[in-house]
Amino acid sequence: MSSGVKQESVKVVAIDGPAGAGKSTVAAHLARRFGLLNLETGAMYRALALKVSRDGVNPDDASAVTAVTAGTKILLEPTDAGNRVLLDGEDVTALLRAQEVTAVASRVSVHADVRRWMVAEQRALALSAGQGVVMEGRDIGTEVFPDAIVKIFLDASAEMRGERRFEQNPVISLDETVREMKERDARDRSRAESPLRPAGDAIVVDTTGMNLDEVMTRVDDLVRVAFSR
């Protein structure tokens, strides 16, 4: 699916990759470093997942979840502390990192019509920003903004990503966290609509074995070079 949208007036930095690869951390850093707006698309899927759960909708029922999107408005308001997420006018930011919300988000995100709706919402948010943005997700460089000025695909081994996620949220065991990470990878990479994969012109940065400073230095260099062209 081609966006048919050009970013003449908006510089877009696209960051894609699997769960736990550090996309949110990198996006927040780049936003501060280069004066960009950070539009975290994963938060949008989690907001939709929250509404699906509240409405008692089966997240595996594609038509039912798609029906929920018809009456849903999700906005991201960048702040110094990160994005403020509004779901139909309600600030749900503090609710979106719950394990159950993340699990439902993974399930609703596989539906083709849901992803098409979300892509349209994400493009609209970026184009309405009026300045450069950094967007992170699973298909920013391949579907949402294929004409992004720079595309970075962050990756790491499932074991490394599981360890990072466990350190952030040790609700379940490390082994269980890694297992869930691998299951999420399989769903994201095998779905029919917008499967997780690097764009053809994306730069893959494997962060396995890299410390945070090394990762930030690498992505800083990539964005600096892209902006200087």
% of the chain with per-residue pLDDT over 70:
96
CB atoms inside a 10 Å sphere around CB 3: 15
**What is the pTM (predicted TM-score) of this model?**
0.80
pLDDT at 39 > cutoff 90: no
74: which residues sit within 8 A by CB, 6+ positions away?
44, 47, 48, 85, 86, 87, 121
pLDDT at 133 > cutoff 50: yes
Average per-residue pLDDT in the chain? 90
Domains of the chain: 12-228 (3.40.50.300)
CB atoms inside a 10 Å sphere around CB 222: 17
Least confident span in 11-20, 25-34, 106-115, 163-172: 163-172
Interatomic CA distance for residues 229 and 226, integer angstroms? 6
pLDDT at 78 > cutoff 80: no
pLDDT at 22 > cutoff 70: yes
pLDDT at 120 > cutoff 80: yes
pLDDT at 12 > cutoff 80: yes
pLDDT at 211 > cutoff 80: yes
